[in-house]
Chains A and B, each alone.
Chain A
Amino acid sequence: MSPVHYVALSVILFVIGGVGVLVRRNAIIIFMCIELMLNACNLAFVAFASMHGNLDGQVIAFFVMVVAAAEVVVGLAILMAIYRARRSASVDDANLLKY
């Protein structure tokens, strides 16, 4: 089978996620966009794994999911803390750590 379509879809999803991370201000949305990028990667992994006929890509996809879950846990916790402190979920408001 040809992975072209899967990879094309993966690229499209990744770019959407990337643009979302760069342009959106709401931290929740940014998180979701990061998830989108991770899953675009997963899709590419799985597609290539299917093309080569081994399980390596699929195993990596599982690892990505686990890491993503952990990342969300930590990230959301930070987000909650920021929201409580600043009454805002905008990442532009949390800009105190700078020059």
Chain B
Amino acid sequence: MTPIGATGMLRESWLLLAFPVFGAVVLLLGGRRTDRWGHLLGAAAPIASFVYAVIAFFALLGYHGPGGRSRVLHMYDFIDAGSFHVNMGILLDPLSISFVLLITGVGSLIHVYSIGYMAHDPDRRRFFGYLNLFIAAMLLLVVSDNYLGLYIGWEGVGLASYLLIGFWQSRNSAAVAAKKAFVVNRVGDTGLTIAIFLMFAEFGTVSFQGVFGSVHSGGSGVATALGLLLLLGACGKSAQVPLQSWLLDAMEGPTPVSALIHAATMVTAGVYLLVRSNPILALSGDARLAVTVVGAVTLLFGALIGCAKDDIKKALAGSTMSQIGYMTLAAGLGPAGYVFAIAHLLAHGFFKAGLFLGAGSVMHGMNDEVNMRRYGGLAKYMPVTFATFGLGYLAIIGIPPFSGFFTKDGIIEAAWDKGGTSGAILAACAILGAGITAFYMSRVMLMTYSGSKRWAAEAHPHESPATMTWPMILLAVGSVAGGGFLVLGQRFENFLGPVTGVPPTAHGVWSAAGGIALALAVAGVGIAWYMYGRVPVPAEVPRGSFVTVAARKDLYGDALNESLLMRPGSWLTRLSVYFDNTGVDGLVRSVAALVGGSSGQLRRWQTGFVRSYALYMFAGGAVLVLLLLVVRL
């Protein structure tokens, strides 16, 4: 679908970016002067963007006919050098507006929540400045109409993520985690960068329209290369295997950051990238297969990690990884999966943000304790948090009629429908993942809200203030209703179809694969109850089986990186340093020594005796005269 020029209300779509940019600039440059009202401005910026996004959404809904529901607003010529043109434009179509609504909607709620959560932090203003910066970069990422603009947003969210993970800079672990996230993300970004280079080299353009229009002419080799490079980029940003290791450490950031950036929005940017690039993936079966494999591996990988973590945020982070694995898996299934990838992404944005905010609320009431072995029996003390967390829990494990059921079922079914051995394996992974999801989420629920009180001595759990509970309630409403609203009646398929293509086969609400997944989920809940609900949870960490030990250590992701990349890397560095010191420096130094030594000898001629100088002059003169005579003769 070729977008056409924006008209009417959509001509003002630059406002989307302008509000958070304004907020970030004022808060970050205003300094201490803005401390008193900074959080209010910071929260107002995404709300203003959200209001505009809702208006734009309804404007788009009203469009039919040429251009479908895709509108592009030309902003300015970003680069105009020789044959290289990049026009900055804002593309609003069903795909980008879905993301815009998620980012600004969930973002606004989390901003409001942060007012309460960060109330006692002396740097609250800086926190809101970074959050606004993040919202601006994330919006640029999803509304840009070319890969270069997307890339700027992509790096912008990476920067904001770095700043926010390391928000409590004085903590060494936070600083290290921020650095780790930054470095691992750079690895993925290299893939995206090279993909953009390749697009320019092959097609001479980086705009979505230009690339998608000419990708057919490039042959399947180019499409495969582009697909794999984009997948690498997506892996870095979305914490997919093998670039997953940063996400668990990223939980060092404040909890609203984990909810907004590392659950609901930024980590899903990789899925956006893949779905947005669907015309490229459409041409390469190999790239699609790689995407599905990465998704399937990650969804089990994250789920396993989630089972063993005692840190509530890390358990949820493993879950995020796993759920994004579902989305990536769906994005590799072609038009059959795109709609469900995005639907699950939106539903996940609601319930996972809600779960994180719930975790933040628990931490808020428990003196920032994150160890679930120190929780227990909190349902009575935090009824609102318990209720909203519980609804998010039901949504994520896919109990009908909560939202996860509809969206995850779509993905499982799409994998099932792929057919062949690969389809069977992928569907089996997805179904198994659903069972494990139910297990670890039930474990979190049971360890936190039920059972005996294993609190630290000074803990006085209490319900959080209204600025924190209301966002959680609204997100819980989204978790309950979002998935059904999107999936039932093919609403989302019809909306998103013009951009991503419609699934070839219509899905019913109930399917055999979905039924097995649901049965496994119920079994997972049962096992969790058997292990953590029936018997008291030990306050000390039991030894556990070798799988548990491995999962506690993030399935040795860090050890693998260290032995495979870090150690050889440092050897290589030492080798180069040695070569530099002996080889390169040796050459340079010996030349210098030669010149120095010989000039040391030569200067002995400068004796200071005037008569020897006179002799040299005479000798020279005599030689000259002789030469002249010789030449004359």
Contacts and interface: CB of A to CB of B under 8 A. Distances in A.
Interface of A: 18, 21-23, 25, 91-92, 94-99
Interface in B587-633: 603-604, 606-611, 614-615, 618
Contacts of B615: 22
A96 B608 contact: yes
A30 B607 CA distance: 19
A97 B603 CA distance: 12
B626 to A, nearest CB: 16
A43 B474 CA distance: 118
Interface of B: 603-604, 606-611, 614-615, 618
A98 B618 CA distance: 20
- Most chain A beta-carbon neighbours within 10 Å: one of B603, B607, B608, B618: B608
B609 A18 contact: no
A19 to B, nearest CB: 10
Nearest to B600: A99
Contacts of B618: 18, 22
Contacts of B604: 99
Contacts of A94: 610
Contacts of A21: 611, 614
A95 B614 contact: no
B611 A98 contact: no
Contacts of A97: 608
A99 B603 CA distance: 6
B597 to A, nearest CB: 14
Contacts of B611: 21-23, 25, 91-92
A62 B618 CA distance: 24
A80 B603 CA distance: 29
Top 5 closest pairs, chain A to chain B, by CB: A98-B608, A95-B608, A99-B603, A91-B610, A99-B606
B606 A98 contact: yes
A41 to B, nearest CB: 13
A41 B603 CA distance: 33
Contact of B614 (A22, A96, A99): A22
Contacts of B607: 95, 98-99
A97 B604 CA distance: 12
B517 to A, nearest CB: 91
Nearest to B622: A18
Nearest to A25: B611
